[in-house]
Amino acid sequence: MTKLSEQFYQRGNQFLGCRYPFLCGAMTWISEPGLVAAVCNAGGFASLAGGNVPPDQLAAAIEQTRTLTKHPFGVNLITIAPAYQDQLRMLRDNPVATVIFAGNFPKDTEVAMIKDTGAKVICFASTESIAKRMYRYGADALILEGTEAGGHIGHVSLIVLLQQVLFHFDAIPVFVAGGIATGKMSAHLLLMGAAGIQMGTRFAVSKESCAHPAFKDAMLRADARDAVSTSQFDPRLPVVAVRALKNEGLRRFGQLQYDLIGLLNQGHISLKDAQEQVEHFWVGALRRAVQDGDIENGSIMAGQSVGLLEKIQSVQEIISEFDREIETELQRVKKTVCS
């Protein structure tokens, strides 16, 4: 018997080239070849986290992933990373199925360059205006990410973005992200018109995730209100908000901003150098938490869906459970509507 979910999966599956339109959000230090391949082999879609990885190392990760899965996968690029331009040039000569631009706006010429390689381009949209701009620039699909998400985030909740963008934007597939951790919720997002669902936090604590056991344990113990976003203290130092669990590392980031603002006031540092120090802080703090298990001084980037985590599961278990929950909820809705 044909499952109800299949008709709602169709657009996302055709675009991504996978069985289920469930994306694993790219997470620096976590979205490495092992996890990416595991998600793709289980029927979902995942991307290598470009972060600030040197292009030769990113190219090696791409080749390693190709040995682990025959399914399409992507590469996520952070447009504000120092290695970004070099990564772009590497992907021009070593194309992948999909490139996801994150962090800030890619230039229209950069989108065109990647599309010329034959890759599909997905851009993040955290506001209505960004969604429209990325479409004008040539994005093939969007990821509508609410502020509930972990890591670098925007300032608008997914609930509002659904009404502003998803309900009025059907020109290209729109995937949704931010605060999602259950198939039941995902079923209603698909009913609203989403082409698929992206999760990061739940995959971060999967069995295949390379994150340190202490990192995973901190996530499992956390409540939704423990995942807080950082603030911007001075408009001269535009800081992309980051959502992470409250700890000493998060406090130190606030102190870093104050220190950098003081140096800017004294003319002892350029704005570009200050912004780079902010990004270097997050890369280093995240590595300490993910790889070393320093959950007090490192950065435990997590979305508010962390409060919905219950246990460590394999990627296959997560995806299969999601699929079952979505089908069950769609059948319940159908029975309710048709009764």
pLDDT of residue 273: 87
Q: 1 or 168, which is more confident?
A: 168
Contacts (Cβ under 8 Å, ≥6 apart) of 89: 55
**Residue 174 C-alpha from the chain's centroid:** 14
Whether 244 and 290 have beta carbons less than 8 Å apart is answered as: no
Q: What is the pLDDT of residue 1?
A: 63
Threshold 0.75, pTM exceeds: yes
Which residue ranges make up each domain of the chain?
Answer: 4-211+310-338, 213-290
> What are the pLDDT digits (tens) for 145-166?
999 999 989 889 999 999 999 9
Tell me how far apart the alpha carbons of residues 252 and 290 are, in angstroms, rounded to a whole number: 18
The lowest-confidence range among 99-103, 140-144, 246-250, 278-282 is 278-282
Tell me the average pLDDT across 223-249: 88
DSSP states of 103-129:
SSPPPHHHHHHHHTTT-EEEEEESSHH
Please state the rounded mean pLDDT for residues 42-67: 97
Asked if pLDDT for residue 13 goes beyond 90, the answer is yes
What's the pLDDT band for 225 if we cut at 50, 70, 90? very high
254 vs 70: which has the higher pLDDT: 70
Q: 42 and 319 in contact (C-beta within 8 Å)?
A: yes
* 23: β partners: 45, 198
**The pLDDT value given to residue 136:** 96
- Judged against a pLDDT cut of 80, whether residue 238 lies above it is answered with no
SS3 at position 177? strand
**CATH superfamily label, 4-211+310-338:** Aldolase class I (3.20.20.70)
